[in-house]
Amino acid sequence: MRRTTLEQQSQWLATRKKELGLKSGDYGYVAVNAGARRSPEKQRLLKKLKAVARKSRRALKFSANV
């Protein structure tokens, strides 16, 4: 097992983002979770959150496939 520090990991990520042409704070590179292995409890929770957001006419700060 390789050990690393948070500082080393942060430096590696910054370098990798530059190589990929991503800007600081750009999170468009994160893959969306398909939700295929999501537990039934988590699926129910996400559905309930969506319903509450719809009812209160507020947008969720995240998107999730349910």
pLDDT digits (tens, 9 = 90+) for 30-46: 766 778 899 999 999 99
pTM: 0.49
pLDDT in tens, 2-60: 899 999 999 998 898 888 887 766 666 676 677 889 999 999 999 999 999 989 988 88
pLDDT value at residue 48: 93
Which is nearest to 32 in space by CA: 2, 63, 1, 8? 63
How many helices and strands in the chain, by DSSP H and E? 2, 0
